[in-house]
Chains A and B, each alone.
Chain A
Amino acid sequence: MASLDDLKKRITSVKSTQKITKAMKMVAAAKLRKAQESAEKGRPYSDKMHNIILNLSKNINDKENAPKLLAGSGKDKVHLCVVMTSDRGLCGGFNSNITKKAKSYFKKILDSGKELKIVTVGSKGFDQLKRAYKEYIIENISFKESKNVNYFDADKVGKMIIEKFENGEFDVCTIFFNKFRNVITQIPQEQQIIPLKSEKSDDKNDVMNYEFEPEEDEILNNLLPKNISTQIFKAMLENSASEQGSRMSAMDNATRNAGEMVEKLTIEYNRSRQAAITKELIEIISGAESL
């Protein structure tokens, strides 16, 4: 059995760990509120953008001459996967959920004989993927310096992706991120952004006759690159809200576990203290009796 001193030391150490996790939980809760707010505020922009593009693409009759970002390059050979994770750890299963989802997708791509290229955003994803998929990772971006998620960072990623697409480096682009539902549940998502998939098209009520100035094609050419940045920005916002939510619940669990551990250790400590006292008493009594 551990000595009294050892037990005492362990109790203090668990207690100080508990203090840290408690503080991290508080910080995450405060950040979560902010991140959630900005995720909600960012939604109108991406929704509107999506609507306009949907309307535009319906008005394009000549599908063959449609911009490549919309129609794709006509091939399905090289897949680019953008895996978006956080830059910091200690947030429960947040990063491993995304990479797990991404890995199963990678496997599918490789099994069907297609080429795979990976871009990681956020250093944790890079750390988790580099062991198994190092030769496929072509770029690793991290925004450790920027305090908050901002559009200009997303724009940088978007521009890089478009440049690669225009150079013919890949045919299909998919992004992976966590969608924030609530503090306890975040759902890892895959979303194809090139070529653009129009998810649900309710043909009946959406048909609007718009005037275009300039021509549809020109607007689309201008808008599609923006849409990619917007989608990435949306993913980044969702991700940051998810990260904080996930961290908050992970830290909450850790605090609770630490509490349980302190209780158990305290009981053990008291017992061994009692045992030591009893032992000493017995020694004194038997010493007195033998006289």
Chain B
Amino acid sequence: MSDSFNLEIVNPEKLFLSLENVSEVVVPAFEGDMGILKDHISIISFLKPGIVKVFTGNEVKELYVEDGIIEFSENSLSILTSRIIDIKEIKKDDLSSMINEANEALKDENLDDQKRFIANQKIDVLNRLN
């Protein structure tokens, strides 16, 4: 397959996912969703809460990420994130507890704009999943 590249998703505990035949990845970059294909220019960017879509052949994998940083160089994409969950494995209870957590964080009045934005974003995404 000539149109594919490598993908590695790492969280602090382990190598979460490693694939070699990925055709496209869509990541929720901080300034908007970004699709990455083979031979993309080397890039470093960071993520906001959202859904990472991984296309391999005819399959699509969807993963929820809380934050993270991506690096793409020489046809290998690394995603580093502190919290990542496969959408299929998300349970309703976890969802509501995560939403509550974000809502709690929003109550803090001293929150700076960026953190407020991230928390709002998180609630949006989670509500959509719910």
**A residues neighboring B (CB under 8 Å):** 38, 41-42, 44-46, 48-49, 51-52, 55-56, 150-151, 154-155, 208-214, 219, 222-223, 226, 230, 233
Contact = CB atoms under 8 A, between A and B. Distances in A.
Contact of B43 (A56, A210, A230): A210
B73 A226 contact: no
A255 B74 CA distance: 54
Interface in B1-59: 8, 10-15, 29-31, 34, 41-46
B99 interface: no
Interface size band for B: 20 to 34
9 contacts: A38-B13, A38-B14, A41-B14, A44-B15, A51-B71, A55-B44, A151-B11, A208-B73, A213-B43
B80 interface: yes
B80 A48 contact: yes
Contacts of B73: 208, 210
Contacts of B29: 213
Contacts of A154: 12
A151 B12 contact: yes
B82 interface: yes
A41 B71 contact: no
A48 B10 contact: yes
B30 A41 contact: no
Nearest to B42: A210
Interface of B: 8, 10-15, 29-31, 34, 41-46, 69, 71, 73, 78, 80, 82
A222 B10 contact: no
Given A52-B69, A226-B82, A233 B12 contact: yes
Query: Across chains A and B, which 4 residue pairs bring their CB atoms closest together, nearest first?
Result: A41-B14, A151-B12, A211-B43, A213-B45
Nearest to A234: B12
A193 to B, nearest CB: 16
Interface of A is mostly: helix
Contacts of B13: 38, 41-42, 150-151
A233 B11 CA distance: 12
A209 B42 contact: yes
A219 B47 CA distance: 10
Given A48-B78, A52-B69, A213-B31, A219 B44 contact: yes
B124 to A, nearest CB: 20
B48 to A, nearest CB: 10
Given A48-B80, A213-B30, 12 more contacts: A41-B14, A44-B8, A45-B11, A51-B71, A52-B44, A150-B13, A209-B42, A210-B42, A211-B43, A214-B30, A219-B45, A230-B12
A131 B14 CA distance: 39
A257 to B, nearest CB: 38
A209 B45 CA distance: 14
Nearest to A152: B82
A210 B14 CA distance: 26
Contacts of B8: 44
Given A44-B10, A210-B73, A219 B15 contact: no
A212 B43 CA distance: 6
Contact of B41 (A56, A211, A226): A211
Which of A41, A56, A154 has most B Cβ within 10 Å?
A: A41
A5 to B, nearest CB: 56
A208 B69 contact: no
Contacts of A230: 12
